[in-house]
């Protein structure tokens, strides 16, 4: 009786084992293709429900961000019997850590990505191994054909298909698309040729001037279109994961503040002209310094100039002269103009931006207003600064800067370029007077290196000390590092563009020898590129 029961149980176990083996055979052999497809379906859920990501183009259609098919390898762990041996072979073929690969193969899953962006050599190795449960497939991936060009502008898409930084981050929802719909394509205001030239100039200058970082912005003052937004150093978005210093991802033109120094002087002069407190010919006697309380403000290199006109104040970049102009306006009125020029608020550009509330300056101390008049002790972003010079170049009217010209889907443009809105900040007369004064800066003053033969160029240099706090040192006062910059426009009396060049501690005495020549090269290039007729014959 006992023997019969034992035999019965044994038969049951044999039948159960046979059924189990049969089921495994059915699942792993007969239905393997089905489960492979199912696994791929799990993996590509996003691409099934969310359409292909929209592309990004320069203004004339040159591609900046596109989509390509990329090979990848994935595992179906439930099909793999010899996991340790498989992990060893995979790690050797793909140059991966064996422990990491084994951990993936031990997951209870139908689909585990092992490595993306395979090389032809890696694909050949995987095929030659013939490993059970290891499959090759292709997926849509982001590709940046311009590589390092405009990298801080475009940003990148990470491994989770999320847009990060730049246009990819700011317009992620537009580019990503909706359920069962492809994302929308974006056409930028950026001119490929001007962007390329600006970055070329920055890279070449970095070798001779050895600055820490630098940037060039080019804007159309009458529309607000950004024609170039160049940064150096930059990075390759196709290889963003190799970057260890994440600060390189930020676009300093809109996300980093600085004290502008003497390029701010025309703003102070603009307010004084508009209030009719000075004219370009108004004179004063420069003694080389002005005492304010217990502080003494001096001119650059301790120079004393004697009797000078306000035009000469800009030509020679005299600190005491703009302090005199600011005092003629009055602190409250001066502050009001700074609000009007938009220095205490974001510009509204369609891009990630920051700004400074300038709380220290707004405390209203006498010394704060004096130093702010020549651009120290007041913080701006480069995009705020170039917008303010766009006011002078655009007959006193302020426009909002923007980067996206058109948005389109597969059937045509969904949105055309934004409506241009202008705010009157200063009168046409003031803008014309100040333009003439800044032409005198490049013709007779310290910015002769910015001149373009045959054209009148309006501009101003700036060399500002960098505060200790700006370089991460908890100490009051200023270091021996400098921001060196130049801002200008041409042709001066009918401007096609405004250019800002800003350099972080270049190895040059002043911006006259660093930023101004870089402006000159780019300005000449754009004038030739646009085929702008000269103002006069040399």
Domains, the chain: 194-529 (3.40.710.10)
The CA distance from 255 to 250, in Å, is: 7
Whether residue 484 contacts residue 460, with contact meaning beta carbons closer than 8 Å, is answered with no
Q: Which residue has the higher pLDDT, 134 or 386?
A: 386
Confidence of residue 177 (pLDDT cuts 50, 70, 90): confident
Rg of the chain (C-alpha set): 31
Average pLDDT over residues 503-512: 95
Whether residue 272 contacts residue 328, with contact meaning beta carbons closer than 8 Å, is answered with yes
Q: Is the pLDDT of residue 26 over 80?
A: no
- Asked which of 33-42, 364-373, 453-462 is least confident by mean pLDDT, the reply is 33-42
Per-residue pLDDT tens over the stretch 515-537: 999 999 999 999 999 999 999 98
Bridging pattern class, strands 226-232 and 422-424 = unpaired
Average pLDDT over residues 27-51: 45
Q: Is the pLDDT of residue 33 over 90?
A: no
The CA distance from 487 to 489, in Å, is: 7
Q: Is the pLDDT of residue 281 over 50?
A: yes
DSSP states of 287-308 as a string? Answer: -SEEEETTEEEE-GGG---EEE
Give the SS3 label for residue 50.
strand
Q: Which residue has the higher pLDDT, 77 or 42?
A: 77
Q: Is the pLDDT of residue 34 over 50?
A: no
What integer pLDDT is reported at residue 71 of this predicted model?
87
pTM listed for this prediction: 0.84
Exposure string over 480-512, b if 16+ CB within 10 A, otherwise e: ebbbbbbbbbbbbeebbbbbbbbbbbbebebbb
Whether residue 308 contacts residue 318, with contact meaning beta carbons closer than 8 Å, is answered with yes
- Asked which of 233-237, 293-297, 382-386 is least confident by mean pLDDT, the reply is 293-297
Q: Is the pLDDT of residue 6 over 70?
A: no
Average pLDDT over residues 427-456: 97
Q: Is the pLDDT of residue 42 over 50?
A: no
| Greatest mean pLDDT range, 23-37, 40-54, 126-140 | 126-140
Confidence of residue 157 (pLDDT cuts 50, 70, 90): very high
Q: Is the pLDDT of residue 231 over 50?
A: yes
Q: Per the structure block, which two tokens stand in for 233?
A: 């150093």
């Amino acid at each position: 009786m006992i023997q019969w029961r034992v035999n019965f149980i044994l038969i049951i176990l044999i039948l159960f084992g046979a059924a189990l083996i049969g089921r495994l055979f059915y699942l792993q052999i007969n239905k393997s293709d089905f489960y492979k497809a199912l696994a791929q379906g799990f993996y590509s859920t996003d691409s099934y429900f969310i359409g292909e990501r929209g592309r990004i183009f320069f203004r004339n259609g040159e591609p900046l961000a596109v989509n390509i098919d990329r090979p990848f390898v994935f595992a179906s762990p439930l099909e793999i019997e010899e996991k340790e041996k498989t992990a060893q072979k995979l790690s050797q073929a793909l140059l991966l850590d064996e422990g990491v690969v084994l951990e993936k193969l031990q997951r209870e899953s139908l689909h585990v990505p092992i490595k993306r962006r395979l090389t032809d050599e890696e694909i050949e190795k995987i095929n030659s191994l013939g490993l059970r449960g290891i499959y090759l497939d292709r997926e849509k991936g982001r590709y940046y054909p311009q590589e390092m060009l405009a990298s801080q502008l475009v940003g990148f898409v990470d491994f989770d298909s999320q847009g990060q930084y730049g246009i990819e981050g700011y317009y992620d929802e537009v580019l990503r698309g909706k359920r069962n719909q492809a994302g929308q394509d974006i056409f930028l205001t950026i001119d490929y040729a001007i962007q390329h030239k600006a970055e070329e100039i920055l890279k070449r200058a970095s070798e001779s001037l050895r600055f820490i970082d630098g940037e060039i912005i080019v804007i159309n003052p009458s529309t607000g279109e950004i024609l170039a937004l160049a940064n150096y150093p930059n990075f390759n978005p196709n290889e963003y994961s190799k970057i260890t210093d994440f600060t390189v991802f930020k676009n300093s033109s809109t996300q980093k503040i600085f004290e502008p120094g003497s390029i701010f002087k025309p703003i102070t002069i603009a307010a004084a002209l508009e209030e009719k407190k000075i004219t370009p010919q108004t004179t004063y006697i420069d003694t080389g310094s002005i005492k304010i309380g217990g502080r003494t403000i001096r001119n650059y290199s301790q120079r004393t100039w004697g009797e000078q006109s306000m035009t000469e104040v800009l030509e020679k970049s005299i600190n005491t002269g703009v302090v005199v102009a600011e005092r003629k306006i009055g602190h409250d009125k001066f502050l009001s103009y700074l609000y009007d020029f938009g220095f205490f608020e974001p510009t509204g550009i369609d891009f990630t931006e920051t700004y400074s509330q300038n709380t220290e300056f707004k405390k209203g101390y006498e010394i704060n207003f004096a130093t702010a008049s020549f651009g120290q002790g007041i913080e701006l972003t480069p995009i705020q600064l170039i917008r303010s010079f766009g006011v002078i170049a655009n007959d006193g009217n302020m426009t909002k800067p923007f980067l996206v010209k058109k948005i389109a889907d597969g059937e045509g443009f969904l949105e055309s370029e934004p409506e241009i809105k202008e705010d009157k900040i200063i009168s046409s007369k003031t803008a014309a007077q100040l333009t003439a004064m800044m032409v005198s800066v490049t013709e007779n003053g310290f910015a002769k290196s910015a001149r373009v033969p045959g054209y009148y160029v309006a501009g101003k240099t700036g060399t500002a000390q960098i505060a200790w706090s700006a370089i991460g040192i908890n100490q009051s006062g200023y270091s021996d590092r400098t921001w060196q910059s130049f801002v200008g426009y041409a042709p001066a009396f009918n401007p096609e563009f405004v250019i800002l060049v800003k350099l972080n501690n270049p190895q040059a005495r002043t911006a006259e020898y660093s930023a101004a020549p870089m402006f000159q090269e780019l300005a000449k290039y754009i004038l030739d590129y646009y085929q702008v007729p000269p103002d006069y014959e040399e």
